[in-house]
Every structure is written in C-alpha cells, then in structure tokens.
Chain A
Amino acid sequence: MSVAVLPHTVKPHPITGVYSGKLGIWLFLASEVMLFGALFSSYVLLRVGAPAEGPAAWPSHADTHLSWKIGGINTLVLIISSVTMVMAWAELKMNNFTKGRWYLAATLALALTFIVVKLAFEYIPKFQHGLLPSTNNFFALYFTMTGLHGLHVLGGVIVIAWFLLPGSGLWHKDPEYFTNRIECTGLYWHFVDLVWIFLFPVMYLL
C-alpha cells in the first residue's frame, strides 16, 4: 500500500507559485469580502431608505455620540499591529525565532488593546447611556458590523496566541511550515485591519 504524501503543504506548487494554505486563506478572504460586502450594502440601502423624520430617522452626526478620537486611536492601534505582524513574519523568514516571537507578542498586545478600548470606552458607556442596537438602525448597524469585526479580532487573538505559545513547537519541527502559518495568519490579520479602515470612516466620519 502506498503512503499518502500530501504535496504542496509547505513548498509552493511549481506552477501556481503558492503553497496550499496560502491559496486557501486567500479564498477565505474572498468569502469574507462577500460577507462584509453584504453588510456594507445593507448599510447603504438602510441609510438611503431611512425615513426623513420620526424615531426611525437616521441620527445626525452629533446624535451618534461616537468619538472620532477613540476610533482614530483604535485605527492607529490596528495599523501598527499590522506592521508588527509583517515584522514577525519577516524575522521568522530570516530565521530569527526569538525576535519573530516578540513581534508576534506585540501584535497580540495591540489586538487586545483594540478590544479593551472598544469595550471600555465605546460599547459599555453606550449601553449605560441606553444606546442599544434597538435604538435605531444606525446603532443596529454600528453594533452588528463593529461587533462582527470585533469577533474577527478575537479570532485573530486566539490564533496569534496559539502560535505564540502551544503552537510554537512547530517551529522546532519544521520552521518553514511554521513561518508559512504566520504568513497566513498575517494575511487574515491585514484583512481584519482593512475592514476596520472601511468601518472607521463609515461609522465615525460619514
């Protein structure tokens, strides 16, 4: 009986030029574009179709009580975390495991900062002031879309934490495999960052 050796799990395919995981994560991101695309489309439709007055009317900018400063800080946090993520991958690629791990840890810390800021300075005070998803469709969209984005950040936190601690053993068995996984994690992380780059102006500035 032959033994199954699955090709292209680590080394790139000679024709497509990518290893399977990288192609997989790109396809996953394509589906994510459709997911957030549907939500942004819903935002456009609901905003354009909102009644001119009454409780369901679209709130004025002041009535949204969103601070562009807090949002801006979080935007900065995510952008820096994208940079540290790339640095982590670059260091691993250059065979510097320790440095790569530090950058990974920095990314994790920044991701957690984003979540803490989001909860402590935005979600919880909003709830305390009675601004809930049911208040009007602006807040419904705000909480649903930033909430879903927050879940994506949380997913990233779990994956990064995994590769930082229990999953890092893979480096000693197969450094290239490990580096590839960090690359895929990075692609996902940049996407999460990118979604926020769209969410920030749409929610805080428009």
Chain B
Amino acid sequence: MTEAHHHHDDHHHHPELGWWRKYVFSTDHKVIGVQYTVTALLFLLFGFTLVMIMRWQLAYPGKPIPLIGGLLGKTLANDGTLLPEGYNALGAMHGTIMVFLGIVPLIVGGFGNYVMPLQIGAPDMAFPKLNMASYWVYFCGGMVMLLSFFAPGGAANSGWTSYAPLSVVATQGQTWWLFGMVLLITSSLLGSINFIVTIIQLRAKGLDFFKLPFFVWSQFVTAFLLLLAFPPLEAAGALQLMDRLAGTSFFMPEGLVVSGIVQPYTGGGSPLLWQHLFWFLAHPEVYVLILPAMGMVAEVIANNTRKPLWGYRLMVYSVIFLGFMSFIVWAHHMFITGMGTRISAFFATTTMIISIPSVIILTALVISLYRSSIRYNVPMLFALAFLPMFAIGGLTGLPLGLPAADIQLHDTYYVIGHFHYVVAPGTIFAAFAGIYHWYPKVTGRTMNPALGKIHFVLSFIFINVVFMPMFFQGMAGVSRRLFDQTFYQHGLDVQGWTQLSSWGAWMLGLSQVPFIMNFFMSLRAGRKVSDNPWEATTLEWAAPSPPPHGNFATVPVVYRGPYEYSVPGQKKDFFPQHLAKAEA
C-alpha cells in the first residue's frame, strides 16, 4: 500500500500527453501492441509480395514478369526478367522478413503485448519504457533489412539460414542482414524479459499460475525460448561479422577457392559451427512461431465451444515440456552434414519425443470440440482450420526427423511444404483468428462477418493449392532453392505442380483483399459492440473496449479458472474470472 501512495503524486500531475507521446513514442502496451501488429502485417504483405514475384520465375522460367517486372531494380531483374542473384536475394529476404519481421512480431509483439497484460489484469507491462524500446529497435532492424535491397549487389542472398562459407564471401547485403539481425535479436531480448517479469510480477490478485489463460502460458514459454535461444545467434552473427569485416576465419576452412580464386583467409574455421549456432536458435524459433498460435486458437476454441478446454493442465505441462525439448533437437536440420550416426540417433530420438507434447495439445483442442454447441463465427472458422492444417504440417515433419527418410527429402520442396503448413495455414490462420477475435476489444467494433467468411473460404482453398503440390514436387526430388527447375528432367516432369502452386499463391494474394478492406473499413463502419461481445470469461473482456490507459476501471480480482463456460446450475453459459458471484 505504501508503494501505491508513493507514486500517487506522480500520476495525479500527469499532463495530457501530446500526440507524439500518445501514438508514436508511447509506453502504453496497447499502443505498442497495435504498432507491432500493423508493422508486422505490412511486413507480412511485403514478404508475401517477394514470394509472389519468385513464383513467376518458378512457373514461367525466363519470361519477363508482367505488371511489376519493369519496376524491379538492376540487382534483381534485367528487362523485367528475374536474375538468378535477384531470385536468391528475394528468397533469403522472404524467409527473413516472414519469420523475424512478420510472424514473431505479430504473434508475440502484437498479440502478446496487447492481450497478455489484459488477460492477467495488469495495468501495463512491467517495464513500459523498455517495451517502447523493443518496438523501436525492431522497427530500426526492419528498416535496415529494407534498405539492404539498395546495397551494392542487392540484399542478402545466402538464404535466410545464411550458411557459411557462402554467406561470408557474399555481397555487402549480407553485412546489412547481420546488422539488422543484431537489432531484431536485441528487440526480442528486451521484449522477452518484459514478458516474463510481467507474467510473474503483475498478475491480478487471485490469478494463480493454473488460472492463467492458455494464451498467457504460451507467451510465457515463448518468452523463455526467445530469451535463451537468441543470444547464441547474436554470438554467431558477431562471429560472421568478424569474418566478413575483420578477415577472421571462424567459419572459413583453409584454402577455400571461390570462382577460381583462393580466398584470403587463414582458415582453420568450421562451416558446421555456423550451422550449429544458427539452428540452436532457429529450432526453438520454430516453437516461437507456433506456441502463441496454439495459445490464440485455444482461446478462440474455448470461447466458441462454450465449454472448458479439455485437459487444460495437460496442455500447460505439454507446452512447458515442448519449450524445454525445443533446445535439444536442433541438429535434426543437419542430418546430411556427416556429423555421425550417434549424434543423428540422439537428435532423431529427441525429435520423435518432441512430437508427443505437440500431439497432446492438438488432441486436447480436438477433444474440446466433442459434444459442444459450436458458434461458427469468423475467428472460430480460422481456429478450426488451424487444427487439420497444423496437423498436416506436424505429421509431414516426422519423416524429416528420421535420418533415413531425411536423406531423400532434405532440401527438397517437401521441406518447404512441411514448414509452410505449420507456419502459413497454421500460425497465420491462428493470427487471423486472433485478429477477428480481439478486434472488438481494440476498436470497440466488430469486423464484417460476411467479408470475413469470404476471406476465410478463399484463403483456405488457395493456401492448400499453394502448399499441397510442394509435397509431390519434393518427393519427385526437386531441390528447394532452384532458380529454374525445368533445367532438370525430374523438375520438368512436375512443372505442372509448380505452375498450379504459383497460381495458388497469386490467388491467395487476391484473397487477402477482403481482409484488408475489412480491417480498415470496420474501424469506422464496423458494428459497435459491448465490452464483452463474445460472452467470454477471461479478464481482457472485463476491461472497457478500447481499454483506457491503465486498462481496468476497477482493479480486477480473480475468483476462478479461465474457461468456466456452461457451468451447471448457472443462468448464463459463461462465468467470468473476475465475478465473485454469477450475475442473476
């Protein structure tokens, strides 16, 4: 109590914040959450545009790109036809932008920032200024990545994995990429500290860990992954910068010859060291991409089945176990590097083990649907689609986790199909579910359900048209980073699938038009709704819509678990966490 008195004075004398402090350099977690969401959605659109350009070259190799071909710079295209170097740059930047600038900032920075403090009944994040810093450092990292397209030789073109020694001898764009990554890593480091401290310190009275919504749990585990997995990549980035700028040989073997020229490195370094350091981050990163998505889907499913989640505690234990295991599976990306059967056997085993908690979570979500009266609104449609899509993505990963099968499938389109099923119709669909679900909380209005359903149906069809053919291409043996697969007979044989996939991608792009229209039009034209339009139980719906600075009109106290739906003997079918007694 003394502490509350202590700071009371400060807050009474707060002058009204100016426009810049309120909307641009804001320390309010909700403004920062919206900033993250909007920036990340723009980056997702940009990253998707890059791949739509690449899909033209894949479908119609060597033909000029229609409409925008002439706009591409000299490092990317020649007379509207994509250059191989340009294709590589687009590929590397597509991966980088989608993962580090699009999805993670959207589902962690955006949803995590906006929803998590509300769900735990906190007035803000534990460190509001640090929160602002994480957004702006992320923003700068994004700008460095965008500007790298104008570097001599174009943007980074050694793949999003930046494998050495190729990346060390690559054009200047790679240096920009490394600086950009250092900024992005710093941003997520600051963010993850903030998330963990907020969840530990700022939960409302009565909100025990096992009364937390599953979304908060998923953000909690994700924050630990970001905290502990990213620093090794920062170290690796520093080492690669030294290789590129100071002429060291951390990743450079002795006597390396590139294009007939012996490289001026002393040697003695190890290209495999980069792969180990990179995947030590990048495998936990995969779970950073999927855990918050599972959290969002769990919220939407509990709300729209009007039933408690089946196996809530089991799901929590699974997500903790997943987080732990994700640190010891990384070398399953490296089965064909010749690191030895014993190491391969270890990582194959851990990989099989890690699939168990994922399956438990997915199964719990499916069982939650059993015998419930489902409300088929737009968020629920996306959440329901997430289940089979993520299942396809997950199950197609099992053959990749077994060295014997991986030798055949490694670095083919099969891998692309596998992880895109996890991340695109998996995570991005979950993010769409989240956007439609929480939009009323942020704006006080709902998005148009008719446009939402059009968006859902078209996206669902075309996203499968994009990614399903990749499994067939991959099993036919087509390598993932080919500029022109028709060069090979086995690629020519499946060129039809490639073209279908490309058309799917362009149609998927068009299918986002209803969403973009809906997103902006609903700001003014959306139906005005109450604070709790979905009749949900968790704390964010106890706050006004949109929540004011400080979030809650009265400090919430929590009396029960997060998903008390259809409690027997109650008049209403939902029993919010913050109500002491049921409403009459």
Contacts and interface: CB of A to CB of B under 8 A. Distances in A.
Interface of A: 1-11, 13, 16, 20-21, 23-24, 27-28, 30-32, 34-39, 42, 45-46, 49-51, 54-58, 132-137, 140, 143-144, 148, 174
Given A16-B201, A24-B193, A38-B236, A5 B7 contact: yes
Given A13-B200, A34-B232, A39-B239, 4 more contacts: A2-B554, A2-B555, A31-B228, A133-B246
B550 A3 contact: yes
A7 B550 contact: no
Interface string B172-207: 000000000000000001001110110011100000
B127 A24 contact: yes
Nearest to B270: A49
A58 B200 CA distance: 47
A140 B250 contact: yes
8 contacts: A1-B550, A6-B123, A13-B201, A27-B193, A28-B189, A42-B250, A46-B268, A134-B246
B238 interface: yes
B269 interface: yes
A202 to B, nearest CB: 15
A31 B189 contact: yes
B194 A137 contact: no
B201 A4 contact: no
Contacts of A10: 3, 6
B200 A23 contact: yes
Interface in B197-228: 197, 200-202, 227-228
B230 interface: yes
Contacts of B555: 2
Q: Which of A6, A46, A140 has the most CB of B within 10 A?
A: A6
Contacts of B265: 134
A133 B127 CA distance: 39
A137 B550 CA distance: 53
Contacts of A3: 11-12, 550
B412 interface: no
A173 to B, nearest CB: 9
A136 to B, nearest CB: 5
Given A50-B268, A174-B6, A134 B235 contact: no
Nearest to B243: A140
Contact of A20 (B12, B201, B238, B267): B201
Contacts of A46: 250, 268-270, 273
Interface of A is mostly: loop
Contacts of A143: 246
3 tightest A-B contacts by CB? A56-B268, A4-B550, A134-B247
Contact of A27 (B4, B196, B247, B249): B196
Contacts of A49: 268, 270
Contacts of A5: 4, 7-8, 11, 123
B245 to A, nearest CB: 9
A16 B203 CA distance: 12
B341 to A, nearest CB: 19
B248 A11 contact: no
Contacts of B7: 5-6, 9
A80 to B, nearest CB: 29
Contacts of B194: 24
B123 A4 contact: yes
A16 B231 contact: no
B570 interface: no
Contacts of B268: 46, 49-51, 56-58, 136-137
Contact of B239 (A1, A6, A28, A42): A42
Given A7-B202, A35-B235, A42-B250, A2 B266 contact: no
Contacts of A148: 238
Given A1-B548, A24-B197, A37-B232, A11 B2 contact: yes
A5 B555 CA distance: 10
Nearest to A176: B6
A22 B153 CA distance: 46
A1 B549 contact: yes
Nearest to B4: A5
B242 interface: yes
B300 interface: no
Contacts of B549: 1, 4
B249 to A, nearest CB: 6
Nearest to A144: B242
Nearest to B249: A137
B128 interface: yes
Contact of A134 (B130, B248, B276): B248
Interface string B107-136: 000000000000000011011101000000
A10 B1 CA distance: 12
A143 B202 CA distance: 42
Contacts of A37: 231-232
Contacts of A51: 254, 267-268
Contacts of B280: 38
A45 B270 CA distance: 9
A2 B552 contact: yes
B231 A6 contact: no
A36 B232 CA distance: 8
A8 B7 CA distance: 11
B280 to A, nearest CB: 7
B303 interface: no
Contacts of B234: 35
Nearest to A148: B238
B197 A23 contact: yes
Given A50-B268, A55-B267, A140-B250, A20 B197 contact: yes
B551 interface: yes
A31 B227 contact: yes
Given A56-B254, A134-B247, A137-B268, A35 B232 contact: yes
A32 B196 CA distance: 16
Nearest to A10: B3
A34 B192 CA distance: 14
A16 B200 CA distance: 8
Nearest to B236: A38
B126 A137 contact: no
With a 10 A CB-CB cut-off, give which of A32, A35, A37 has the most chain B CB atoms.
A35
B239 to A, nearest CB: 7
Contacts of A45: 270, 273, 276
